[in-house]
Every structure is written in structure tokens, then in C-alpha cells.
Structure 1
Amino acid sequence: MLSSSFSIPYFLIASFLLLNLGVGLASRKATTFRAYAVDDKRFSTVKLLATLLATSFCGVVLVSPVQVCYSYGLLQFCLMFVNAIALWLTSLAWVRMAPFMHHLSIAETIGSVYGNYPRIITALLSIWYTISTLIFQINAISYIVTACLHSVDPNSMIVLAALVIITYAAFGGIRSVTNTDVLQFITFIIIIIIVAKLMFVKTGKSFLEIIWFARKQEKFKLSSLCYPDSHLWDCIVYFLFCLLSIVDPAIIQRMYMCSGPIQVKKVFLYGSFLYVLIMLFICLIGLFVFSSNSTLSMEEIWGYIVTSLPSFLQGAIVTCVLAMATSTADSYLHLCSIIVVHDLMASIPGVKPIVDRLQIRVARLAILGIGLFSMIMAIYSNDLWKSFSSIVFYVYTLYNVVVSAPFILACFGFRGSARTALVGMAMAILMSLACKKFRFLIGIPACVASMVANGCIYSRHWLIMNCIPLFS
């Protein structure tokens, strides 16, 4: 018989997964591909806000910030809020999205401006971006299950969660994804607040005492930002790179789900404020743990948190990470199915348009194939993951440096030919390879140099096409 310390957390996790499956399958099924992709843009602002934040807060966002704030102090603490700035910047550019609001993916936007081949390249990079994100979520689930529930095989939990996500994402479309995102968002918000409250109580101190204690620590002082060994330059590069989440394909997808530019402004503006508030609670967990015990290593932090909580809340922490990971994974899986059908298949020369029913069927097969592939790659063997991860991370970087410049410039009115786009993308890839090889020689991070090189190609073309005729 299962002990109560094991059965209660297990029951909580199983109930959460079953509830997600029920909500997802109970959602109205789409009859057209556009309804499957964006549900004819009939979402309320509140529901769009919930799915935006649920997609932004992945499973790693609970595990990593707590460890980082505990171990590295003020400098890394500030970097945890970069994504909120990216959401805020997106809300400022809402009026620029008007020409693209009828699109279904960022690849379609790139294709409408620069042609068919840049669209295919963007679609392929988006698929790899999706796979890397799914693997991150699966590894976050595995890590937290290992730390919290020693009696549960993490691979079994991963397979169960993956099958639930694949099932409702494939059969329900965007309506199922959005409804489950709302449920998952509410779940992890409640659990984060409860855990933060309990860790605060465990300190036995008032909030002012905790702040005063942190101020005495060298890594939490403002002067620590200027120390030579604080890796300030690396943090600045990380800050700039995180701002590129503005072109995250799933985040852009949330923009296309809005009814118009005004709703984009509301959703992303409110989302930036709420992101700061939620991330603050997550970071406070790390601060409270540091106030309780400042001698832990990074690997011991979550083990300490788990042992400090009642047994049933150990399952709640796993449920929280599951909620954050699944809310991100289902959004990316759905996006990937749209890209396969709407961008890749539609871009193949000589292929006639297929009916909506067949498009939906292909999209479901894409979700099944990509979901199972990501799951197998994540849980297979450590050696395989180590060899595969370098490829995944590099393609993740390539997506940002290749897609960010043409998309942002297109939003601000820059236009160019397919040749210009391909030259810019090739330049970004070559610059990224060069900076990776000679980084210590030239001192320029690959992501920054590649983006600048890519943007210069488009800017030069725009200046030639728009400014020279004025003087002729």
C-alpha cells in the first residue's frame, strides 16, 4: 500500500493531469483550419492575457530563478525581469502590427515581405526552436520530480504528461490550448504564492529584517554590480539577447490571436506588469531560502525547499512545474502544427491547396510526431542529450539572429526582396559561426554581431531603394 506521504502528492499530480485532459477535450472542436489556428480571433483580453503569461512562464522559470537569486545575488536578480521589458516593448509597437494581423505565423509574415524561401527558412528554424523549448520543459519536469518525489520515476511522469499534452493539443486546436492555459496559469500562480508564503514563515523574520539581512551580504549590495568579477558584460549580453524574445514564435502567435492592434497593446502591456509581479514572488522564494540558510549549494536549494514544506505540498511543487511546462509546451506544439501545414506545405511548388479537414488532420499528425520526437530525445540517455543539446542550443541562437532583424525591420516599414533577405540570413549565420570561433579574439558575442550584420543588409537595401531616388 502507498504511504500517505506518497499517495497525496501522487493523487494531486494525477488529478491535475486528468483535469487538463478533460478541459482540453471538452473544448469545442474546430471545423476550419483558421478556427483550428486562431479560433477566428474571438478571444477575450483576459483569456489572451492568461495564455500569454502561461506561455511566457515555462517550467525552467520556476526552477532556475530561485537558484540564481539565491546563489548570485542582485545582478542576476535584475536579469530575471528582462522578459517583462520585451513584453512592454511589444505593447509599444502595437500599431506596427496592423498589416500582419491576419497572418497565422511569423513565417507567413516574413514570407509576405521577403518571399517564399525566407518563409521556408523561418519555418524550419521555428520548428527547431519549438523542439528545443519542448526539451527544456521536459528536463525541468524531470529535475523537479527527482528533487521532490524520490519514489516516482521521472521518465514515467514525463511520458504521462507528454501524452496528455499531445492528446488535447492535437484534437482540440487553439481552443483547447487556450482553455488549458487558463487552468494551468491559475494553478501555478496559487502554488507559487503558497510556497512563497510558507518559506517566508520559515525564516521566522519580518520582511524588513530579511531585507536588512540581504543588504549586509556583499552580493546583494548595489556596489556588487560594478565589481570586475561580476560578469557584468556577460549579463549585458544576456539582457540584449533576452530582449529578442520579442520575436519568439509562440509569443508572436499570441499577437495574431488578438482581434486587432488595440487588443495587442492591452494584452502585452498588462502582461508586462503581471510578469514583474509573478517573477517577484518567484525570486522572493530564493531570497527567503537564503535568509533561512545561506550555506546551501545550488544543487541543494530545491531539496531544502521540499523538506521544509508539508508532504502534500511536495506534490504541489511538482504540479506547479508541470503547469508551467505544459502551458508552454502545448502552445509551441500547436504553433509547430500551424507552421508545418500553413507555411511548409503551402510553400512547396506545385502542391495544390488542400481542404480544411485534411489540413487539420496533417496538423494533428505534426503535433504527434514532433511531441513524441522531443520526448524521446529528452529522456533517452545522457550521452545522447549532451551530443544533441549543442545542436539544439545553436539552432535556438540562429533563430534569433536570423529572424529578429527582418521581422522587426518589416514591422517598421522596411521592405526588401527575397535576395536581400537570403543574403542577410546568410550573413547572420556566417557572422555567428565566426564569432563563435574567434570570440576571445574580437570580444564580440555571436548574437549581437550577427544581428547587427543581418540588420545592416536590410537597412542598406532600404536606403538604396528609398533615399537615392530622392536625389536622382
Structure 2
Amino acid sequence: MFLTKSAKVLTTFSDYAVGRKNFSTATLVATILATAFGGGGFIRTVQYVHKQGLYWIMFSVLIAVTLWITSLIAGRMKPFMHHLSIAETIGSIYGCMPRVVTAVCNVMGSIAILAMQIHVMAHAISVYTDLFHPRIMTTLATLIFITYTAWGGVRAVTYTDIFQLITFIIIIPILAWLLFQQTGKSIIEVVSLLGTQEKFQYSHVFSWSANLLSVISLGLSGLAFVISPPILQRVYMASSTMQAKKGFLYASICSLVIISFMLLVGIAVFVNAPNLPIQDVWEYIIDHIPPCFKSFFYIGFLALAMSTADSHLNACAVMVSHDIIEPMWRKGAIVSAQKLAFAQSASIIVGMCAMVLTFYCTDLLELLKLALDFSVPIATAPFIFAVLGFKGDAKTALTGMVVGALSIIVWKIWVEPTIDINGAFFVC
């Protein structure tokens, strides 16, 4: 219904990219939350809370901090509110080539995020049938969100996000409650038990170690991920900097509730099965929830993954058409209808690229690191400087981008294999 309605009013490229900037604050908060929380992130959070304990709990809370930081950034973006993407904002300060480079790198990073969500969607769909090969399920999952994202634009994405978020926030507390019921322990007993486990003890977690440094590095990279294309696209969708600031502030508060329930799921699994291998965490959960609830659980998973995937895909399509093709177009100005057609085609191509990546990499943490490596060292500094009012030229920006790209390549090849620490933040 929403796809059809959105498609009828989708007449300009601006409508496709940011809508008509008349969304209510509540709608803006809902789409921010649906974009920030993905199915891949939920799976990863539960697994690593079980494996790393307090380390990952601290890392997870940074999602709320990231949204709060975005609210501060949004308050300073008045000169850029008419833009359609982060690449356009960088281009308005540093010129055409930094704009194109930013768009290309962010598209590559978003493909990794899309691959995470496709993996979750394919798994959720495959639960209902074992008649088809997993790659067929992956293809089906990809086609689902490509279809309404490509032809519905950001309005279709936003309104489906609302229903997908509602579905998830209903299901996740029930899941946490079901798993805690199986522990047979009170909250006080659970807290006492965790206090005896080394991975949940402050003295262990805050003692200097490579593991702590690794989590800090990943957390700082995650904070820099505040400039991810779909998150900033929500700023451009707002009617004013004040609405954007309020929307992200409210979202940061609401996110603490969602994070709490996600963490409770991981803690409940640890209490029930402390020695469970990380790859078996979700199999344990599925085996220990009532059969009548499994269908609702997978629907929630599917909704959560799609809400993040469609946001990233829409942002990618906008950048390909608006920030890569248009600046390099040599046949004169591109009319809105042409840009819209390019964006719809880009949605299909980018979605398919993410699907292919899913076939070769199913490790959700590695996909997250890949996304950070593409975007954080390239675009973070130029964007922050632009928002803070620092001027520069194309040569300065491109030099910084090249140095960031070369540094992350060197880190990935020679440093990370030795110390097992992601370098996105350190070379930012």
C-alpha cells in the first residue's frame, strides 16, 4: 500500500532522495531507529555479549552516544540542509573530485552493511522452507527490498521503517522475557552470577589488554560512523536543523531501551549456557523458544534487517546518481527524470553487488569492519571540518583521502594480522 502511494507522488529526484521534508518528528525518530538498528547488528550483539561480556556491552551502548553526537552535528548543518547527501556537502566545500571519491567509498562501505542485512533476511526466510538452496533464499531476500526501495524512494523506505520498527520492538522484549524465564533465577541472582564471571567483572575488563584496546578501537570507529550516508540522510530529510537535532536526541534516548533488551537476550543465553560456542548461540535461542513464537521472531528479524537495508540502499542510489554520475556527466545537465532512472538502476546494481558479497563473506563482524574501513578513514575528517566551518580546497581534501586510504590498506595487510585491532579510527 505504501509503495503504491509513494510511487504515485514520486515525481522528482528530490522526492526520491529526501522526500518533501515534511515528515513529523515522530516519523523521523522511527526511521532513525530503524536505520541504526539492523538484523546483523542484533545477531552480532547477542553473540558477542555472550562471548566478550562487559566489553561488548560497553561497545553496544555507543550506538546511543553516536545518535546523540549526530544531534549535535545536525544543529550546525543549517548551510547544508538543502543538500541530498554527505558527498554533496563535502563537495560544496572541497569541490567535485572529493565529492565523487566520498560517494564511491561510502557506496562500497554500504554494500558491506547491505550484505549483513541480506544474510539475516535470507536466514529468516529459509526458516519457513528447506526446499530451496540458501543462495536462492539470498536472492529472494535481496529482491524484496530492492523492489520497493528502487521504485518507492525514501518515502516508501520511511513508512515501511515505521511498521518494521514497531514489529521489532514488540518482539525483542518478549524474546528477552522468554529466555530469562528459562534461567529460573531472579534478577538479583543473575547479577550475582555475572559478578563471579571474569568477562563481566570491571577489574578484568578495565585492566589493560589487547582485547580492551581492540574494543576501544572498534568503538571509536563506530562513533566516527556517525557520518554514514543513511544516518545523515535523515538529517537532510528534516524540515530544519532544530527538527533534526530533536529527532536524533529523542532517538538516542529511545535507543537505550532497545539496546537494553538486546543485551538482556545475550545475558540470558550466557546464564543458561555459559560455555556455548559463539556460532551456536542463535541455534540455542531458536531451540529454546516456544514453536508458536518462532514465526513472529523471524518476522521481527526480517523486518529489522529490511529497515536497515532499504535505508542504505536508498542512500547509495542517491549518491550514485547525484554525486557520481551527475558531476561526471559530459552531455549537459541531467534532468530530474534521468537522475531518478539512474538512481533506480543503481539500486538494482548495488543490491546485487551486496548479494554477491554475501556469498563470499558471512562473518558479520568482518563485514562491519569492512564497512568502517571504506568510509571512516576517507570521509570523516573532511565532513567534520566542513560542518565546523573550516574551508579548504580539493587538493587538501584529496591528499587527506589518499593518505587515509593508503593507511588503512597498510594497516589491513601488515598491522591488523599481528595485533587483531581494527585500524579505521587510528588512520581516520
Structure 2 length-normalised TM: 0.92
1:123/1:343 contact within 8 Å kept: yes
| Residue in 1 that maps onto 2:260 | 280
Q: Does 1:367 align with 2:338?
A: no
| Residue in 2 that maps onto 1:448 | 425
Inter-CA distance 280–247: structure 2 relative to 1 (3 Å threshold): same
2:221/2:372 contact within 8 Å kept: no
Quick one: which amino acid aligns to residue 391 of structure 2?
R
Cα distance in 1 between the residues matched to 2:221 and 2:247: 23
- Among residues 400, 407, 410, which one is paired with 1:424 in the alignment? 400
Cα distance in 2 between the residues matched to 1:192 and 1:309: 12
1:131/1:370 contact within 8 Å kept: yes
| Residue in 1 that maps onto 2:10 | 30
1:94 is displaced (CA, Å) by 2.8
Quick one: which amino acid aligns to residue 447 of structure 1?
A
Cα distance in 2 between the residues matched to 1:293 and 1:391: 27
| Residue in 2 that maps onto 1:139 | 119
Cα distance in 2 between the residues matched to 1:189 and 1:373: 30
Cα distance in 1 between the residues matched to 2:371 and 2:199: 34
- Among residues 91, 106, 112, which one is paired with 1:111 in the alignment? 91
Cα distance in 2 between the residues matched to 1:71 and 1:440: 21
Inter-CA distance 29–63: structure 2 relative to 1 (3 Å threshold): same
| Residue in 1 that maps onto 2:373 | 397
Residues paired across the two proteins, number? 424
1:119/1:343 contact within 8 Å kept: yes
Q: Deviations over 1:261-281 (max 9, x none)?
A: 101111111111111110110
Q: Does 1:238 align with 2:218?
A: yes
Quick one: which amino acid aligns to residue 332 of structure 1?
H
| Residue in 2 that maps onto 1:151 | 130
Cα distance in 1 between the residues matched to 2:367 and 2:5: 38
Q: Higher relative contact order at CA 8 Å, sep ≥6: structure 1 or structure 2?
A: 2
Using the TM superposition, name which of 101-110 and 190-199 deviates more.
Answer: 190-199
Quick one: which amino acid aligns to residue 269 of structure 1?
L
- Among residues 294, 300, 305, which one is paired with 1:325 in the alignment? 305
Inter-CA distance 447–116: structure 2 relative to 1 (3 Å threshold): same
Q: Does 1:88 align with 2:68?
A: yes
Structure 1 length-normalised TM: 0.84
Q: Does 1:251 align with 2:251?
A: no
Cα distance in 1 between the residues matched to 2:390 and 2:422: 26
| Residue in 2 that maps onto 1:73 | 53
| Residue in 2 that maps onto 1:351 | 331
Inter-CA distance 435–364: structure 2 relative to 1 (3 Å threshold): closer
Cα distance in 2 between the residues matched to 1:138 and 1:118: 30
Give the percent of matched residue pairs that are identical in Structure 1 and Structure 2: 37
The answer for unaligned runs of 5 or more in structure 2 is none
2:113/2:368 contact within 8 Å kept: no
- Cα RMSD between the aligned structures? 2.5
1:59 is displaced (CA, Å) by 1.2
Quick one: which amino acid aligns to residue 319 of structure 1?
I
| Residue in 1 that maps onto 2:185 | 205
Inter-CA distance 228–77: structure 2 relative to 1 (3 Å threshold): same
Using the TM superposition, name which of 347-356 and 35-44 deviates more.
Answer: 347-356
Quick one: which amino acid aligns to residue 219 of structure 1?
K
Give the number of the structure whose alpha-carbon radius of gyration is greater: 1
